[in-house]
Structure formats: structure tokens, C-alpha cells
Amino acid sequence: MQCSMHNQQLIQFACLNQSCYEFKLACDQCTKNNFHLGHVHNLKSIPELLGLLSDTQQQCNEFINKLNILNAQINELLKHVNQFVEIDFSITSQTLTQISTQQLNNIITKLIHFNGDNKPQIQLASQHTEKLIQCFSNFLQTFKITDIQTRPNNKTSDIALPKYQLINSIKEYLYCFSVCFNQDSTIMINGYMDGIIRVFEFNQGNIKLKQTLSEHKGIVGCLNFMNNSNSFVSGSLDNDIIIWKFFENKQWRVQQKITGHRNWIRCILINSEDNLIISGSRDFSIKFWTKDKTWQCSQTLNQHKNELTSMSLNESQTYLISCAYDDDEILISKQQENKQWMIAQKINQKGYRLCFINNNLFTVQQYLIPVMNIYELNNSTNLFDQIKEVKVKNGPSCHCFFQSQYIQQKQMLVCKNGNYVNIIKISQSVELQLVQFIDFGTGTLFGRLTDDGQFMVTWDDKTQQIQIFQFKEK
């Protein structure tokens, strides 16, 4: 069996770490690329995996046998218990005259017996029965959800509203982890797993390869265009951030390579004036880069307890929200008058994807949770409070790349969750409506929208295609 990430390599390991969201099957090259850094002890060889599967199958068979035996014993006990609990206590003043004193004496004896000895036992049995039912309900619900979610529909919702429709697809066997567009959506840049960056001409959904860049040495998971210049920024598994500039010979070249992180660059933000770059990494840190003559690190925040998965700036770019994988806190940092950033609030909630809607409103998507939370700034306390939530589609696995994106022109939020891309309409009165969801049938899904929201470009490992969607009115 060949590795889906490195086609020439054979699968050697399986990752059994419950909280890992990387690819479960790995080759030697995957481990060299630090895909499972931090839990290598959970990597099992294929023979070990087969042995574990065999042991688990045996445990399942034994469990089913025990359940069958328990079921037979309970049915036998119920026959005897029914004889004792099926007592008729329904005596009224009318029926009292119709029974003998001996019958009434026997009923009173049973009543005393029931309340004295049997009633506590019945209450105890009832409590244990409820716990047993809840235990099996949770057990079955887990398998029910997994079963439903792992059957891809490859369908979009049928809600009669404006929606994204597939207009073009291009076969692409290389894993494409990141996409970005320039301001007028005429250039599309893709980042790949082998460190390659490809620059495409983008024309209303049609693409043409213009240049291939090969400076990075690992997965390019982050790409962002500058707002006011012909430059873009890339972040990679090789721990480096690169500033690329378009020169007069119509070629993209490295303008500066920024080093400082000790692990994979997970997310990159650029402010509207192009004088601040914010990077989040697998080394748990957030770094702020400012430019004098060259880009230099001006500040580092080390408040997160795990690898960064998402960051977002508000409209005025005075608040930064950030979250880390399996971290119980969302951090809100505020820029001070001296341009330094300080933690202003910690929200006791896990996050996986974050997105500011405006200055005072942001969304939180937890890992594979079918609900999105909405937070708003309380002007009295200057703290963000949760004000509402909206149900969304989810799936069995997900990857942090493909950040949430709010399209102001369309008042629309696009957020990936598992194998789904959810499109949510947000009104001025903060009413949220899930207007479309697209099921790609896989959590290994990456993409980006143009700034005006007219096009969405995705890549997934199921179709192995660059798919281009266009926003269509009713």
C-alpha cells in the first residue's frame, strides 16, 4: 500500500493518537516531515496494527457474548420479579366493599412489605437501569454518528438561496495545502506538500500556470497576499516565513526569508497597511513582525498550551483572537498605545477556527462540533460574551488549514468543519442562517475565497482536483 502523501513510499505506520488530526497512515517520509511530532509513541507498525485489530475483534466478540448471556439472565429474572411487583393497589372507597377482610389484610401486608423492603430495591434497580440505558445509548450514538458522517454525499444543500456552484475542475495529484488571491483576483497562488508554490493567472474561474517557486523545504500551509503591493507571504513546515515580490521581469523572487519559529508555521495574518505580519506556529507561539528596512520580530506571545490553529484580527486591527489545538482557552490580545500586544481576555472554550466579522463580533468553530458560537464585545465590561450559536454541518475528521473567511460584500461567512464547507449569512442584526453546505466527503480539504467572494477554490484528497466554485444569485 502506497502513501497518499508520498506516492513512491510504502505505508509503514498507523497513528493511533485520539487527538491527532494528521493523516492516520504514514510512511517513513511522513515521520521525517514531523507529521506526528509529539506523539511518535502512538505510531504502530503495520504488523502491530494488524495484531491490535485482531485483539479488538476478539474483545468485541467476547463483549457481544457477554451481552447475550446478560440478556438471557435478565429475562429470566424479570419473570420472577413481575410476580412480585404486579400487585394491584388500586382500591377505592367503591371497591373496598367488594373485597373480603382477608383479602384486604393480605394487601396491607404486601403494602408494608413493599414500602419496607422492596421499594428501596426497586429504586436502586431503576437507577442502575437508567444508567445502563444511557451507557448503551451513548455507545450506539457514537457509532451512529460515525457511520453517517463517513458516507460522503458529495452534495450541496437544496436551500433556494444564492449559492456556490462548481464551474471548473483541474486534476491535481500533488497535495495542495493552501490557496490565496491578490486583491483583484487575477492571480491565484497555491502551496503544496513538497514545498512547491505555483503561481497561476486567474481569469473568471479559468487558471493558467505562470511560475513555480521552490524555496521552501516542507509543506506550504499558509499563503497571504499583501494589500498594497505586489508581494505575498508564505509559511511552511520548514519553520520559515518567506516574503515574495514581483519584479519587473515578471518573475516572483524571494525578497526576504524570516526565521525565528521552531516549528511548522500554521497561520499568517497581514494588517491592512502591510507593516505588520502575525504568525502562529506549532511551537505554541505567536510572533509579531514589523518592518524597518527588513522584517524583524518585535514581540512574541507564549500564552498558548498547544500548536496554533487559527488567528483573526478585527476591522480596526486592535484586537487579535487566537486558539490552539486541544487548548481550553481562546486568547484575546489587544494592541496598546506603544504598539505592543497584551492578553486582554481569556475565554474558557476550545476553538479550532476563528473569524472576526467586524470590530465587536467574532465566531468560534470548535473541532468537529456541529455548532458555531458567536461572541460580541460588551461595551460595559469591555469583554467579549457569547450571545448566540448556530447549527452547522460537521464530519469525522478535519485539518486546521482552510481558515474561516468573512466576505463583507456579501455579509457571508464561509467556514470549513470536517468534510463540510458551511456558508452562513449574517444580517446587520446578527441573525445567522446556514444558507448552504457542501459535502466534500473528506476532511483533507483546503481552499480559499477571492476577496469579493465571487469564487471559491478548493483541493481535496478524494477528487484530487482543484475545484473552482462561483457564487450564483437566485
SS3 call for 140: helix
What Rg do the C-alpha atoms of the chain give, in angstroms?
29
Write the DSSP string, 32-76.
Answer: HTTTTTT-GGGEEEHHHHHHHHHHHHHHHHHHHHHHHHHHHHHHH
d(CA 146, CA 141): 8
- Ranges of each domain in the chain: 163-472
d(CA 451, CA 405): 9
> What is the model's pLDDT at position 16?
83
Instruction: Please tell us whether the domain made up of 163-472 is placed in CATH 2.130.10.10.
Output: yes
Count CB neighbours of 45 within 10 A: 11
Q: What is the pLDDT along the chain (474 residues), one digit of tens a residue?
A: 777 666 678 888 888 876 565 667 878 877 777 677 667 788 888 888 888 888 888 887 787 777 778 777 777 776 666 665 555 666 666 666 777 777 777 777 776 766 666 667 667 777 777 777 777 766 665 544 333 333 334 455 544 566 899 999 999 999 999 999 999 999 999 999 999 999 999 999 999 999 999 999 999 999 999 999 999 999 999 999 999 999 988 899 999 999 999 999 999 999 999 999 999 999 999 999 999 899 999 999 999 999 999 999 999 999 999 999 989 999 999 999 999 999 999 999 999 999 999 999 999 999 999 999 999 999 999 999 999 999 999 988 888 899 999 999 999 999 999 999 999 999 999 999 999 999 999 999 999 999 999 999 999 999 999 999 999 986
Count CB neighbours of 374 within 10 A: 19
Residues forming beta bridges with residue 437, ordered by sequence position: 422
> What is the model's pLDDT at position 237?
94
First CA to last CA across the chain, in angstroms? Answer: 46
d(CA 309, CA 324): 5
Environment class of residue 118 by beta-carbon count within 10 Å: exposed (0-12), middle (13-18) or buried (19+)? middle
pTM value > 0.85: no
Element (H, E) at 310: strand 308-313
d(CA 398, CA 347): 23
d(CA 252, CA 209): 13
d(CA 128, CA 425): 46
> What is the model's pLDDT at position 21?
55
Q: Which of 434, 416, 417 is nearest to 425 (CA)?
A: 434
CA atoms within 13 A on the CB side of 244: 24
What ranges in 46-205 are assigned the alpha helix state H?
46-85, 101-113, 119-149
CA angle 16, 18, 23 (to 5 degrees): 60
Cβ atoms 362, 312 nearer than 8 A: yes
> What is the model's pLDDT at position 150?
32
> What is the model's pLDDT at position 295?
97
Phi, psi of 18 (to 5 degrees): -65, -35
d(CA 3, CA 33): 13
Q: Which of 299, 305, 359 is nearest to 330 (CA)?
A: 305
